[in-house]
Amino acid sequence: MLAKGRLPHWSLGALALGLAVFLAVPASAQRYNRAGSGNFFGNLFGGSGTYQQRPSEIESAPQVDYSRAPAPKKPDPTIIPTTSIVVMGDSMADWLAYGLEDAFSDAPEIAVIRQNKKNSGLLRYEFKSDLDWWHAARDILSRQKADYVVMMLGVSDKQNIREKDLAKDADKQDADKKTTDDKTADKTNQDDDPDNAIIAPESPGKKANGVIEFRSDQWAEIYSRRIDATVAALKSKGVPVFWVGLPSIRGTRATADAVYLNDLYRARAERAGAIYVDVWDGFVDEAGKFTTQGPDFEGQVRRLRSGDGVYFTKAGARKLAHYVEREIRRYMNNRAVPVALPTGPLIPAPEAKSAVRPLAGPVLPLTVTPGNSDELAGGNEARPVHSDAIAASVLVKGDPVAAPAGRADDFAWPRGGVTPASAISAAASAAPEPEAKPAAKAQIRTDAKTETRSEPASEPKVDAKGKPKVTKPALEAQAKPKQVPPQQTPPRPPRPIGQSGGPFGFFR
């Protein structure tokens, strides 16, 4: 028996073996535990488990910055671009410029210039300076060659406005006005004119350190003035200006804020003469809600938005640029083509001599129907229409053409060599003479006409000797031989083969 409180020798050996194995297992295997086991011995003997990262490894994982688009490609130094598209704005404009570079990749003469500022907006260009976008836009356009100007921003403007920021804006406007007045000749007169003074924004009736809430009426008024100032700075170059609206953003409130800002952008941009580009329908589903995936500009369903629900993927940036590319190419195609004009003195062309037209034509009655004339009103009846008499009869008067004998449209009866007149006379001679009746009508048939006359009823039909009178037609009928029409033998059917050979002749 073992003493109380002492372990057997085999237990000490097993404990030492387990400690040696524990020290030999690497640290990565110690962190790999079986699901629900809570020890590492199960993992040593083939147990399944999940890998658990240390908190330090989770913190050290690289974070993806979706607000930055891929860097632009290096331009070909041998090609000098002739058209420049300057894209300004915030991170949205960076993705838009990336998509435009891909859209115009087949035209190396078109250069896309990125002039965006990350996290900037109309309320604040950057946190550590008092610069505004309308000042920055004028400086950029004064240094850059621009044929088209594109602006897209607003993601960072969904915030309140502080009154002290408005005071700074008023001071900067006064300084800008003073600089402008120094460059003019009538400096003194303009300083004394109260109409040229910069009016500071009115106070909302709150304390000096108060704020103006986002989406309030006063906030919309102040923000609209900043849009007008920015559009005026963009138009200072005298080139077409395109203001691109915001797409849908993940979240119900964020989507409503984007719709509110787009309404302000559309109204103020169109009023100032800029072109507003609406991209909303390209990044929502059939119900009008935010969607991560959708058809790209070629119709293929792909992922369009980044993981944060704000920015874009490469396919989404290309689709975003498709809306702007369409408007820019429309301007390029409608550009006026220069026409070379003659430089010599302008000589008036000689007037062409033409016949003098009468003031009024012949007067033709419209209510009087002409007689039996076949001529139209105003026609020359003396001049024949056709030299051929048959053509004039058929084509002008509409007379039918006699069909040749024997043709399908020859409807003369009876057919053959016997004429109707001779057939009638032959039938009359063969028929017996009818008995005399009082007031009978005798019909005398000729070759062309049939005459009918009445004989008096009192004229006797016998002579003085009591013999019947013989009339002249009767004598003529007796003198002429009777013409009997030839009898036509009906056709006989063909005799069957082998008829002469008896009943079995068919088989011979």
Q: pLDDT digit string (tens) for 188-200? A: 444 444 333 333 3
Q: Can you spell out the DSSP letters for 151-168?
A: EE--GGG-S-EEHHHHHH
pLDDT of 206 reads 43
345 or 89: whose pLDDT is higher? 89
Identify the band that residue 41 occupies on the pLDDT scale cut at 50, 70 and 90: very low
Q: Which residues are within 8 A (CB) of 248 and not within 5 positions of it... i.e. 6 or more apart?
A: 255, 258, 280, 283, 284, 289, 290, 291
pLDDT of 460 reads 54
448: pLDDT strictly greater than 90: no
488 or 394: whose pLDDT is higher? 394
What does the alpha-carbon distance between residue 47 and residue 41 come to, in Å, rounded to a whole number? Answer: 9
| Both structure tokens of 409 | 């449209």
Kindly report which listed range (77-86, 88-97, 160-169) carries the lowest average pLDDT score: 160-169
415 or 210: whose pLDDT is higher? 210
Kindly report which listed range (235-249, 276-290, 381-395, 426-440) carries the lowest average pLDDT score: 426-440
Using a pLDDT cut of 90, give the percent of the chain over it. 38
Average pLDDT over residues 276-287: 95
pLDDT of 234 reads 95
Using a pLDDT cut of 70, give the percent of the chain over it. 53
Kindly report which listed range (4-13, 153-162, 323-332) carries the lowest average pLDDT score: 4-13
Sort 192 into a burial class: Cβ within 10 Å, 0-12 / 13-18 / 19+: exposed
Averaged confidence pLDDT in the chain: 73
Kindly report which listed range (96-110, 286-300, 323-337, 471-485) carries the lowest average pLDDT score: 471-485
366 or 456: whose pLDDT is higher? 366
Average pLDDT over residues 370-388: 58
Identify the band that residue 422 occupies on the pLDDT scale cut at 50, 70 and 90: low
Backbone angles phi, psi at 394, to 5 degrees: -80, -45
Identify the band that residue 451 occupies on the pLDDT scale cut at 50, 70 and 90: very low
Residue entry with tokens 């019947």 = 468
pLDDT of 63 reads 72
Identify the band that residue 380 occupies on the pLDDT scale cut at 50, 70 and 90: low
CATH homologous superfamily of 83-158+214-333: SGNH hydrolase (3.40.50.1110)
| Both structure tokens of 8 | 């057997």
pLDDT of 379 reads 55
Identify the band that residue 352 occupies on the pLDDT scale cut at 50, 70 and 90: low
Highest mean pLDDT among 401-405, 449-453, 482-486: 401-405
- Number of Cβ atoms within 10 Å of the Cβ of 193: 10
Q: Which residues are within 8 A (CB) of 35 and not within 5 positions of it... i.e. 6 or more apart?
A: 48, 49, 50
Identify the band that residue 210 occupies on the pLDDT scale cut at 50, 70 and 90: confident
Whether residue 60 contacts residue 86, with contact meaning beta carbons closer than 8 Å, is answered with: no
Average pLDDT over residues 396-411: 82
pLDDT of 334 reads 83
pLDDT of 223 reads 95
306 or 356: whose pLDDT is higher? 306
Distance of CA 382 to the CA centre of its chain: 61
Highest mean pLDDT among 156-160, 469-473, 485-489, 501-505: 156-160
pTM: 0.53
Identify the band that residue 47 occupies on the pLDDT scale cut at 50, 70 and 90: very low
Average pLDDT over residues 195-222: 65
pLDDT of 75 reads 84
The full 3-state SS of 217-268, as one line of letters, equals: HHHHHHHHHHHHHHHHHHHHHCCCEEEECCCCCCCHHHHHHHHHHHHHHHHH
pLDDT of 127 reads 76
Identify the band that residue 508 occupies on the pLDDT scale cut at 50, 70 and 90: very low
Three-class SS of residue 322? helix
153: pLDDT strictly greater than 90: yes
| Domain residue ranges in the chain | 30-54, 83-158+214-333
407: pLDDT strictly greater than 70: yes
Whether residue 188 contacts residue 182, with contact meaning beta carbons closer than 8 Å, is answered with: no
Whether residue 152 contacts residue 90, with contact meaning beta carbons closer than 8 Å, is answered with: yes
Identify the band that residue 359 occupies on the pLDDT scale cut at 50, 70 and 90: confident
23 or 53: whose pLDDT is higher? 23
**Per-residue pLDDT reduced to its tens digit, 86-134:** 999 999 999 999 999 999 999 999 999 999 999 899 998 887 777 899 9
Distance of CA 239 to the CA centre of its chain: 29
pLDDT of 316 reads 96
Identify the band that residue 30 occupies on the pLDDT scale cut at 50, 70 and 90: very low
279 or 185: whose pLDDT is higher? 279
